[in-house]
Structure 1
Amino acid sequence: MRIHAIFHGRVQGVGFRYSAKQKAVELDIRGWVKNNEDGTVELEAEGSETNLQRFINALENGMNPFIKVTHIDQKTYENEAGYSKFSVR
């Protein structure tokens, strides 16, 4: 299973991408995360459905007190892209 998501809120300059990578490694999630010019953070992640849900829930609730997610645009896909690791772009 694969998820593509864009996170809105206070998500840049607060450790969001590195928190995402840390959680991804913990949950065996593969893919990538990057900052967008409009202040959002975009990610694509794949793994088991259970672990992907845990991953998105953790990111949505803020991995540290500085992160404040206000909205997530998310699409789910059945197929995987074949990522071998989780990277910060």
Structure 2
Amino acid sequence: MEQAVRLKVYGLVQGVGFRWATRRLAVQLGIVGFVINETDESVSIEAQGEEMNIRKFITQIEIGPSNGTKVHHVKIASVGVNPDYTTFKIY
């Protein structure tokens, strides 16, 4: 069953390739949506895909890629599925 979530990621997540690593992970898991830097130095993600893949995605986001990123906290909220999402974009 398809599921959609909004994540707000806090920590050292800007200027370290976090958005590109997030996109790579999303593509590997068949997840669509987007990732964007926020003015408060956090990163927001909207992701939708199969429930099992969303769980894997969230787990990996909480860990963070091993490229200098340091994830301190992730807020997670369920959102409605958006039929307009067909790819995973970086903004």
Unaligned stretches of 5+ in structure 1? none
Q: Which residue of 2 aligns with 1:39?
A: 41
Paired-residue identity, %: 35
Distance 1:7 1:81 in 2: 21
- Off by >4 Å, runs of 4+ in structure 1: none
What TM-score comes out, normalization by structure 2 length? 0.92
Q: Which residue of 1 aligns with 2:55?
A: 53
Q: Which residue of 1 aligns with 2:75?
A: 73
What TM-score comes out, normalization by structure 1 length? 0.94
After superposing the two structures, state which structure 1 stretch, 68-77 or 27-36, moved more.
Answer: 68-77
Unaligned stretches of 5+ in structure 2? none
| CA deviations over 1:24-71 (Å, ceiling 9, x no partner) | 000000000000010000010000111001011111111124111111
How many corresponding residue pairs? 88
Once superposed, what is the RMSD of the aligned Cα atoms?
Answer: 0.9
Q: CA deviation at 1:76?
A: 1.3
Distance 1:56 1:14 in 2: 19
Q: Which amino acid aligns with 2:52?
A: T
Contact 2:8-2:44 within 8 A present in 1 as well: yes
